[in-house]
Amino acid sequence: MWNREALRWSISSVLTHTALSVAYAYSHGLALLGNSNGVTRQANGNFGSDLNLVPPSLQVQYGGSFTEDKVIFPDGHSAIVPDFEAIDGIYNPNFGPINVIDNTGHSKYNGLLVSLRHTSSQFFATAAYTLAKSTDQGTGYYNQFDQKSQRGLSLLDQRNRFVLSAGWTPTKGLFRRFILSGVLNESSGRPYTAVFDSAQPNFSVVPGEGYNSFTGPGTSNLDISLARDLHLSERFTLRLRAESFDLFNHPNYEANVNNVQYTTTQLNDGDGNPTNVWVAAKNPSFGTPLASMPRSGSRSFQFSTRLSF
C-alpha cells in the first residue's frame, strides 16, 4: 500500500478563534487481497480464487451444456453473456476447490477534506466536509476469470460526508454549569452491483450496468447530550447527564438493499430441454432497503451520574 497526502494547508486567522483547514488526500493501494462475492465456488466469498474452477469457455468439456447464454430484457434488447451452468465443474476430479490467495487487487482514493473550527470561552464547534471517490479492481468480484470487467467504485466509496459537532458551556445566567453538546452525521450512500437472481448467466452480473454503478441510501444521525454539574462541596461535584442517540429515529440502510434487478426464466426447447436463452423480468423490489444497519439501531436514551472528588 502506498499512501501520500498530496496537499494540505491551513488558514488559522479567518476570524477570531476560528481556523479553516483544507486538505487533499490521495491513496493508491497495490497487491491487495482479492475477495470473491461467492456466487459460485470461488473460495465461497473468502480471500482468493479457485484454481480447480472451470471457466465458461470450457463448460461443455466438464459437464456443462453451454458456453454462452442469450438474455432477453423487458425492452426487447438482448445480450450474449458467459454461461456458468457447471458451477461444480472441476479440472481434476480428484480434488475439490483449490483456493489460492489472490493479491492482484488495486485501489485508488482521492479526497478533498475541508474543516472549520471555532472556539470561545462558552462555545466550540467543528464542521468537517469530505468529497471523495474510491475505486478498485479485484478486491470484490463475481467472475474470477474477468476481473478487469469488474473495475468500478469501491464498496467503501462514500462520495459526500458532513460532520458537525458543537458544545455550549455557559458560565453565567440561568444555564450556568449546564453543558449542551451534539454531533450530526450526514453522508451519501455506498455503491452496489445489479445482479440476476441466478448465477448461471454472466455469474449473475447484469451486463451493461457497470460494477457497483448503483448507490444505496445515505445515512443521517444526530446525537445530543445535556449535562449539569452540581457542586456539593469544595471537594465533591456531581454530574447529571442525559443523552439521546439518533434523536430523530432516522433509519439508516447504506448499501443493505435488494440488488436483484431482474428475475430470470430459462426457456426450454420443443422437447422440454433447457436452452441457453433466458428471459429477464424487472424486479419491482430492486433497490429497496432490506434492513437497517446493526450499529445504527433506533432512537435511544441514556441517563447517568458521576461523582468527582
Q: How far does the chain reach from its first CA to its final CA, in angstroms?
A: 49
What is the pLDDT at residue 48? Answer: 66
What is the pLDDT at residue 2? Answer: 46
Distance CA(177)–CA(179), nearest Å, equals 7
Domain boundaries, the chain: 10-30+67-85+108-137+154-308
Parts of the chain with a pLDDT under 70: 1-15, 35-48, 86-89, 254-255, 294-297
In the numeric block, which cell numbers belong to residue 112? 478533498
Contact 264, 278 (CB under 8 A): yes
* Helix, strand, coil distribution of the chain in percent, nearest 5: 5, 50, 45
What is the pLDDT at residue 13? Answer: 46
What is the pLDDT at residue 12? Answer: 47
Contact 135, 107 (CB under 8 A): yes
SS3 177: coil
* β pairing state of 191-192 and 178-187: unpaired
The continuous run of DSSP H or E covering 29 comes out as: strand 18-32
Ramachandran category for residue 260: left, alpha or beta (phi over 0 → left; psi -120 to 50 → alpha): beta
pTM of the predicted protein model: 0.82
Q: For the stretch 95-130, what's the b/e string if a residue is b when 16 or more beta carbons lie within 10 angstroms of its beta carbon?
A: eebebeebeebbbebebebebbbbeeeeebbbeeeb
Contact 44, 60 (CB under 8 A): no
Contact 216, 257 (CB under 8 A): yes
Q: In whole angstroms, what separates CA 37 from the centre of its chain?
A: 14
What is the pLDDT at residue 294? Answer: 64
What is the pLDDT at residue 44? Answer: 44
What is the amino acid identity at position 88?
D
